[in-house]
Amino acid sequence: MILSKNKWLFIGALAIGAILILAVGVGTVRLQIPRQKGLTPRLYIPYISLTKATPTAAPQVTPQTMPEVSPLPTATPTPNPCPVEKTTKLGIGVYNRGGGHILSPILQAKPGVIFLMDPDPGFARDVRRCFPKAFIVGRRFMSSQPLDNPQLRGEQVADYVAELAVPLKGVINAWVSYNEVVGSSDFAAYQAYNTFQVVFAQKLQGVYGVDAVAGNDGVGVVAPDDYAKYFAEAIAASKYFGVHAYAPQGANTMRQDAEHYVLRYRAIYNSLYRAGIQHGPFILTESGLWNGWRGVTSENSMAKDFLWLADETEKDDYVIGQAIFGLFANKEWQDFDVADSSAILDALGGYLPRRSP
């Protein structure tokens, strides 16, 4: 009986021990599982990122981002961006005070020389901002251009031009005075205009600190040698010298009789050189056909003529460039206006000068 009891006690003890061993073993396994698989909060992060990188997420992202990064909408945000850094001797005259969309065709043409007549100051600053490297010439329109008292008139016009020119220092490079004021062989007018220009240049440059442009006579009006004979003082006193470059009357191309008309500036230069007359750089302040291009030639032919003249001026280092007459966009001078001619504006904008290496 005692043995039986001891036997059962022994068996019970074994059973209890087995249970304890199992309990400890199970606990050990449960404790080892997280250690072996890394199931801690930090180590769950790679798992979460893997879930985000599964193929089910990629199709959700792709259709949302593709339209935003596509080159199609970003390729043409602005057809003619500002500023224009290109430098050429091909330019344009703008006979519009500004406003509206007049800046758009100028940007389309990408001129290296710009002629502005009576520009609104804000518009002139916009032009300079968009064309930081361009040479810009200014002009104030005058309904009458008297030479009866040339010295007094020169001072008065200098004051008048300075009213607009002084606030635009650093925006416009130089200013003209009268425009196509003398006739052929009018030698008394030549002498008066010479005096007028000397006084104009001395006051505009010396008093107001604004550079002056001499000349700006009609094409073929003044003989090349007469510039050296009658206008030497005016040319020497002025920072720049302006010349108009038009084809002869009735011509449908600027290349006709070019040496006597459109390229006449070369004969003037040679005359001044032979006479030893000091002068500044030349500017072709107007260029084109005598009576305009509309009804005379095609847009493409006119564009080729403008580019041809630009290439010609590239051969002459004393020439700053030409300003085509012109861009109006106001129903004035419609036979000359290039504002709505995409063919001409695009040709100007795409022009690359032929320069010697």
- SS3 sequence, 12-40? HHHHHHHHHHHHHHHHHHHHHHHHHHCCC
Q: How confident is the model at residue 15 (pLDDT cuts 50, 70, 90)?
A: low
201 inside domain: yes
Return the sign of the alpha-carbon dihedral for residues 29, 31, 35, 39: positive
Q: Spell out the residues 6+ positions from residue 276 whose beta carbon is closer than 8 angstroms to its own.
A: none
82 inside domain: no
357 inside domain: no
Share of residues in the chain with pLDDT > 70 (%): 77
* Pair (256, 344) in one structural domain: yes
What is the DSSP track for 219-248? TTTS-HHHHHHHSHHHHHHSSEEEEEEEPP
* Pair (99, 238) in one structural domain: yes
10 inside domain: yes
* Pair (233, 145) in one structural domain: yes
Domain end marker among 45, 75, 105: 75
| Residue 79: per-residue pLDDT | 62
* Pair (15, 131) in one structural domain: no
Q: Which two tokens stand for residue 346?
A: 């695009």
Rounded mean pLDDT of 99-118? 95
Supply the CATH number for residue 226's domain. Answer: 3.20.20.80
- Per-position b or e across 157-178, b if 16+ CB within 10 A of its CB: bbeebbebbeebeebbbbbbbb
209 inside domain: yes
| Contact call for residues 189 and 152 (beta carbons, < 8 A) | no
Domain end marker among 75, 102, 124: 75
* Pair (200, 345) in one structural domain: yes
* Pair (15, 135) in one structural domain: no
Cα dihedral: 216, 220, 223, 225 (round 10): 70
**Which of 20-29, 54-63, 141-150, 240-249 bottoms out in mean pLDDT, i.e. has the lowest?**
54-63
- Domain carrying residue 124: 90-349
Q: Spell out the residues 6+ positions from residue 217 whose beta carbon is closer than 8 angstroms to its own.
A: 180, 181, 182, 243, 244
* Pair (243, 330) in one structural domain: yes
Nearest to 196 by CA among 179, 184, 208, 173: 179
Pairing verdict, β 319-327 and 211-217: unpaired
The number of distinct structural domains making up the chain is 2
Burial class (CB in 10 A: 0-12, 13-18, 19+), 127: buried
Is 90 exceeded by the pLDDT of residue 188? Answer: yes
304 inside domain: yes
Task: Output the CA angle 140-142-146, nearest 5 degrees.
Answer: 130
pLDDT tens digits for range 61-79: 333 333 333 333 333 344 6
Pairing verdict, β 113-117 and 90-94: parallel
Q: Spell out the residues 6+ positions from residue 201 whose beta carbon is closer than 8 angstroms to its own.
A: 212, 214, 234, 237, 238, 239
Backbone angles phi, psi at 215, to 5 degrees: 85, -125
81 inside domain: no
* Pair (193, 67) in one structural domain: no
Rounded mean pLDDT of 260-282? 98
Q: What is the pTM of this model?
A: 0.78
* Pair (126, 252) in one structural domain: yes
* Pair (55, 102) in one structural domain: no
| Residue 168: per-residue pLDDT | 98
172 inside domain: yes
* Pair (41, 135) in one structural domain: no
* Pair (151, 252) in one structural domain: yes
Nearest to 136 by CA among 283, 234, 7, 27: 283
Domain end marker among 75, 104, 123: 75
pLDDT tens digits for range 292-346: 999 999 999 999 999 999 999 999 999 999 999 999 988 889 999 999 999 999 9
Distance CA 160, CA 171 (A): 18
Beta-carbon-side half-sphere exposure of residue 192 (alpha carbons within 13 Å): 16
